[in-house]
Copies of this chain bind each other. A is one copy, B any other.
Amino acid sequence: MAQQLMSARSQRTREAILRAARMHFAADGYQRSTIRAIAATASIDPSMVMRYFGSKGQLFDAALDVDLHLPDLTGTPAELLPQALITHFLAPWEDDLDEGSMRLLLRCAATNERAAEHLRQMLHEQFTSSLRGALGAERAAACSGILAAQLLGVAFTRYVLRLRPIADLPVAALADLVTPSLRTVLAADEG
């Protein structure tokens, strides 16, 4: 891609902008984040943002390009599936190495159709491909909707709304709390 053709310097600048943009978009949403503020955080001139990303909208698109990193769960015994799902699902939210890109996506999806489409696409792809091996294509498709709803509910409640007690629980306790429900969903579809 174009990135490969860039000098190390512009590469660094580009990444600094992206990092700053993710922070701002995650904290304030799309509208309230200004190019100027993002540029200030990245310690560069606002017009650099235009140079590297063309417009605020394109910068946003670039910032949205994140990943759940759900592993392929093929071979995971049914018994352990709920635990594995919740653990892997929560991981990118908990240790946000990428400046909260998951939070950014969830928050912005609430008010921005572009982000919503991105999130829908991402959830669909990653859930079905992660579960296909373990459940078969048919059951994966049938379950993924309600599984996504439950996990999104937890993520929204914990990371965006910060509703107690869900927001305060250690991850392990949270996983224990949710696991039975996931198990129920997977079991209900078994028959």
A residues with CB within 8 A of B: 28-29, 31-32, 106-111, 116, 119-120, 123-124, 145-146, 148-154, 156-158, 160-166, 177-178, 180-181, 183-185, 188
Contacts and interface: CB of A to CB of B under 8 A. Distances in A.
A150 B155 CA distance: 10
Contacts of A181: 150, 181, 184-185
| Chain A interface main SS type | helix
Given A110-B110, A156-B152, A157-B152, A163 B184 contact: no
A159 B121 CA distance: 17
Contact of A149 (B31, B111, B157): B157
A176 to B, nearest CB: 9
B163 A32 contact: no
11 contacts: A32-B111, A106-B110, A108-B111, A110-B161, A119-B161, A120-B161, A145-B164, A152-B157, A153-B157, A180-B185, A181-B181
